[in-house]
Amino acid sequence: MRLNQIYQTLLEHFGKQHWWPAETRFEVIIGAILIQQTNWIAVERAIENLKSEGLLNPTSLATASLERVQRLIRNLNFYRQKARRIVNFSRHLVERHDGSLDKLFGKSIEEVRKELLSLDGIGKETADSILLYAADMLVFPVDAYTVKMCERLGCKDLRYEELRNLFERSLPEDLEVYKEFHALIDKLGKMYCKSKPRCSSCPLTDECGFKSS
C-alpha cells in the first residue's frame, strides 16, 4: 500500500480539509469525545449549546451540574454517558493540571497517551485524535474509515497499533500531512469507500485491488 501516493491522490481529488474544525484546543477535545457513534452536524449543535452557556472551558465545565450538561447535549446519542465523560475530563484537567492543556501536553507522547487512555470514554482512536489535533503531536489516529480503506487496499487483519505504526513509518514527519490525511480518509469513506463502495468513481480505483460489482 503506497500511502504517500494515496495521500497525494486524495489531496488532489478532495483538496485540503482543514481539520479539526474548532476554535480552541479544548473544543477539539470535547468534540473528539462527543463524536463517538454520532455525526458531526449533531456534535456541532451540542458544542454551540455548550458555548452559548459559557461552558466550553475547563473550569466552567468541571463545575457544571451533570443535568445541565445533559440538557445541552441531549441531541447526541448516549448523551448522558457523554455528559459524564466531558465533565470528568474537565475535572481531571482542573484537578491534575490546573486547567492547563500546556501542562497536560507537556510530557512525552507515550505519557500523555497513557494518561488520556486512563480516563473514562477515551479509547485509542479518541486519544490519538486529541494528541494529533489538540496537542500537535505526530500520532496517526486509526478510525473505522481508515481500517476499511486499508483492508480493501490489501492490508487485512492488522491491529490498531500495527496500522498506526504503518502510517507513522510511511508518512513524512509533518503535522499537516497527518492532519489532512486522516481527514481525507474520512472524506473518502463517507463519499466512496462505504459499506457498499462506489469504486467506479473513486479516486483510488487505480491503486485498489478491491472492486465492487
Where on the chain is the footprint of ligand SF4 (CB under 6 A)? 149, 152, 192-193, 197-199, 202, 204-205, 208, 210, 212
Q: How far apart are CA 112 and CA 114, in angstroms?
A: 5
| Three cell numbers, residue 52 | 452559548
In the bound complex, what is the minimum distance in angstroms from residue 162's beta carbon to ligand SF4? 19
In this complex, which beta carbon is closest to ligand SF4, that of residue 19 or of residue 192?
192
In the bound complex, what is the minimum distance in angstroms from residue 167's beta carbon to ligand SF4? 16
In the bound complex, what is the minimum distance in angstroms from residue 211's beta carbon to ligand SF4? 7
CB 212 within 8 A of CB 198: yes
Mark residue 136 as left, alpha or beta (left: phi above 0; alpha: psi -120 to 50; beta: remaining).
left
Q: What share of the chain is helix, strand, coil (3-state, %, to 5)?
A: 60, 0, 40
For residue 51, the SS3 value is: helix
In the bound complex, what is the minimum distance in angstroms from residue 165's beta carbon to ligand SF4? 21
Cα angle value 168/170/174 (rounded, 5°): 65
What is the helix (H) or strand (E) element at residue 7, kind and residue range? helix 3-14
Q: How far apart are CA 100 and CA 59, in angstroms?
A: 10
In the bound complex, what is the minimum distance in angstroms from residue 207's beta carbon to ligand SF4? 7
In this complex, which beta carbon is closest to ligand SF4, that of residue 3 or of residue 62?
3
In this complex, which beta carbon is closest to ligand SF4, that of residue 36 or of residue 146?
146
Q: How far apart are CA 24 and CA 44, in angstroms?
A: 14
In this complex, which beta carbon is closest to ligand SF4, that of residue 137 or of residue 155?
155
In this complex, which beta carbon is closest to ligand SF4, that of residue 171 or of residue 191?
191
In this complex, which beta carbon is closest to ligand SF4, that of residue 15 or of residue 154?
154
In the bound complex, what is the minimum distance in angstroms from residue 109's beta carbon to ligand SF4? 29
Mark residue 99 as left, alpha or beta (left: phi above 0; alpha: psi -120 to 50; beta: remaining).
left
